[in-house]
Amino acid sequence: MAKTAVVNIEGKKVSDLELNDSVFAAEFNEATVHNVVVMQLANKRQGTQSTKTRAEVSGGGRKPWRQKGTGRARVGSSRNPIWKGGGVAFGPKPRDYSYTMPKKARRVAMRSVLSDKLASEKLIVLDALNVEPKTKEMIKVLGNLKVEKKALVVTNAVEPAVVRSASNIKGIKTAIVDEMNVYDIVNADVLIMTEEAIKKIEEVLANA
Q: Are residues 87 and 106 in the same domain?
A: no
| pLDDT tens digits, one per residue of 126-179 | 998 888 899 999 999 999 999 988 999 999 999 999 999 999 999 999 999 999
Q: Are residues 198 and 114 in the same domain?
A: yes
Q: Find residue 155's DSSP bridge partners.
A: 176
Range of the domain at 56: 51-91
What pLDDT is attached to residue 109?
96
How far is 205 from 123, CA to CA, in rounded Å? 17
| pLDDT tens digits, one per residue of 169-185 | 999 999 999 999 999 99
Mean pLDDT of 70-80: 93
Query: Would the pLDDT of 58 be above 80?
Result: yes
- Do the strands 2-7 and 13-19 form a parallel or antiparallel pair, or are they unpaired? antiparallel
Q: Are residues 199 and 120 in the same domain?
A: yes
What pLDDT is attached to residue 208?
59
What pLDDT is attached to residue 103?
94
Mean pLDDT of 67-90: 93
Q: Are residues 136 and 110 in the same domain?
A: yes
Q: Are residues 116 and 199 in the same domain?
A: yes
Q: Are residues 66 and 119 in the same domain?
A: no
pTM of the model as a whole: 0.83
Q: Find residue 172's DSSP bridge partners.
A: 151
What pLDDT is attached to residue 144?
92
What pLDDT is attached to residue 114?
95
Q: Are residues 114 and 86 in the same domain?
A: no
What pLDDT is attached to residue 95?
95
Q: Are residues 59 and 146 in the same domain?
A: no
Q: Which residue, 74, 91, 108, sits at the end of a domain?
A: 91
| pLDDT tens digits, one per residue of 26-53 | 999 999 999 999 999 999 999 999 999 9
Query: Would the pLDDT of 79 be above 90?
Result: yes
What pLDDT is attached to residue 182?
96
Which H, E and C letters describe the chain, residue by residue? CEEEEEECCCCCEEEEEEECHHHHCCCCCHHHHHHHHHHHHHHHCCCCCCCCCCCCCCCCCCCCCCCCCCCCCCCCCCCCCCCCCCCCCCCCCCCCCCCCCCHHHHHHHHHHHHHHHHHCCCEEEECCCCCCCCHHHHHHHHHHCCCCCCEEEEECCCCHHHHHHHCCCCCEEEEECCCCCHHHHHHCCEEEEEHHHHHHHHHHHCCC
What pLDDT is attached to residue 59?
87
Q: Are residues 160 and 199 in the same domain?
A: yes
Question: Which CATH number does the domain housing residue 110 bear?
Answer: 3.40.1370.10
Q: How many structural domains is the chain composed of?
A: 2
